[in-house]
Amino acid sequence: MLEKINSSDLLEFDNLGNLKVGCHECNFNDFVKKFLDEFPDSETRSSRMYLFKSFLKNFNANVKSTRKYLINGGFTTNKNNPCDVDFVIVLNGSQISAEENEFLNLLMDDVNKIRIPYKLLEKEIEEEGRSKRELMETEFYDYGCDFYYLVRIEADDEDYHIYQDLKEYWMKWWGHTRKDKKTGVKHPKGFIDIKHEENMLEGLS
């Protein structure tokens, strides 16, 4: 189990440019300060943050059962020009309505139509050593959000083990880097945990 770190002062990068190991709990304002304001020369972070906030506003206008956001990927490293914001939205399973379920299913269908071609192109570019700037010409780049959602199930529910397995998968996946191309080693790292608050985007440009 990754240690939970509840302090914006500990949002620091390790020598590989990743967040130091742990589940870093912070508010949205601290997230913006660390991963946007500290990168004044970035060509992509401002647009990625704008798209992320726009996504959240639309999502939370349609889904009222949001619990938290787990954020990972290049945006939470010291990479100057990340392509997107990677995150998982944790939902309260007992509060999801039929209308919300329908919205979620349609949303994922629409996103996968542009995500899958993007991922295939990304793999092709990496294998052939081409410039990643090609990715900036895709529809998924213009979307800016690579997300999934996880439904939280209570411990007394017969399907609780499903939630536990999925949670463990994300914790393990996001608690480590991808395999190093030279050494094959996965390095431990941290990620961001933001608790959903109704007015958390107010006052942010």
Residue 67, in any domain of the structure: yes
What's the confidence (pLDDT) of residue 8?
A: 52
d(CA 33, CA 12) in angstroms, rounded, equals 12
Give the confidence band of 72 by pLDDT, cuts at 50, 70, 90. Answer: very high
Residue 160, in any domain of the structure: yes
Residue 201, in any domain of the structure: no
What's the confidence (pLDDT) of residue 3?
A: 58
Residue 140, in any domain of the structure: no
What's the confidence (pLDDT) of residue 174?
A: 85
pTM of the model: 0.91
Q: Tens of pLDDT along 25-40?
A: 999 999 999 999 999 9
What's the confidence (pLDDT) of residue 182?
A: 84
12: left (phi over 0), alpha (psi -120 to 50) or beta: beta
111 versus 129: the higher-pLDDT residue is: 111
Q: Which of 96-100, 142-146, 166-170 has the lowest mean pLDDT?
A: 166-170
- On average, the pLDDT of the chain sits at 91
Q: What is the average pLDDT across 149-168?
A: 91
Q: What is the average pLDDT across 13-20?
A: 94
What's the confidence (pLDDT) of residue 178?
A: 87
What's the confidence (pLDDT) of residue 171?
A: 86
Q: What is the average pLDDT across 160-174?
A: 89
- Asked whether the predicted pLDDT for residue 131 surpasses 80, the reply is yes
At 168, list the tokens: 């463990």
What's the confidence (pLDDT) of residue 9?
A: 53
Residue 88, in any domain of the structure: yes
134: left (phi over 0), alpha (psi -120 to 50) or beta: alpha
Query: Which range marks the domain in which residue 154 is found?
Result: 19-94+145-195
Residue 133, in any domain of the structure: no
Q: What is the average pLDDT across 2-26?
A: 80
Q: Which amino acid is at 123?
A: K
What's the confidence (pLDDT) of residue 201?
A: 87
Residue 153, in any domain of the structure: yes
Residue 130, in any domain of the structure: no
What's the confidence (pLDDT) of residue 94?
A: 87
Q: Which amino acid is at 43?
A: E
What's the confidence (pLDDT) of residue 6?
A: 59
Sign of CA dihedral 84, 56, 166, 189: positive
Looking at the structure of the chain, the number of domains it has is 1
At 109, list the tokens: 């269908």
- Asked whether the predicted pLDDT for residue 199 surpasses 70, the reply is yes
Q: Which of 7-16, 80-89, 156-165, 172-181 has the lowest mean pLDDT?
A: 7-16
